[in-house]
A = this chain, B = another copy of it.
């Protein structure tokens, strides 16, 4: 069994940002040399997500509106977590809805995707360097 490990780093300009990281993951898979296996991609911080969906700007806006509707950033006093001095109580909840991780099948050396699957890093408390795990195991 082979394994390949990489910590990617993202530092967004905005508090919330959605970044298509598919090409990064494809590069790691190529480097791993793995033909058949599983690829885990997860946010290593607890106010960010990795998810799979469409690379369509309207949809990304829909996601952001939906999340802000369910767990608005303000008022900060909505979240007990913010009593610790943080202002990211909403970000922990937004990340939970969108998910921490994806697991992707690796077949014949490629990410075995349907027609529209793209891997996104969703940042909900950015403007600082944050890490994304890529772990591929197989043969």
Chain A residues with a Cβ under 8 A of chain B: 1, 3, 5, 36-38, 40, 42-46, 51-54, 56-59, 61-63, 66, 70-71, 79-84, 89, 92-93, 95-105, 107, 112-117, 130-131, 133, 135, 137-139
Contact = CB atoms under 8 A, between A and B. Distances in A.
A2 B74 CA distance: 48
Contacts of A81: 54, 56, 58-59, 62
A72 B100 CA distance: 24
Contacts of A139: 1, 3
A29 to B, nearest CB: 14
B51 A96 contact: yes
Contacts of A61: 80
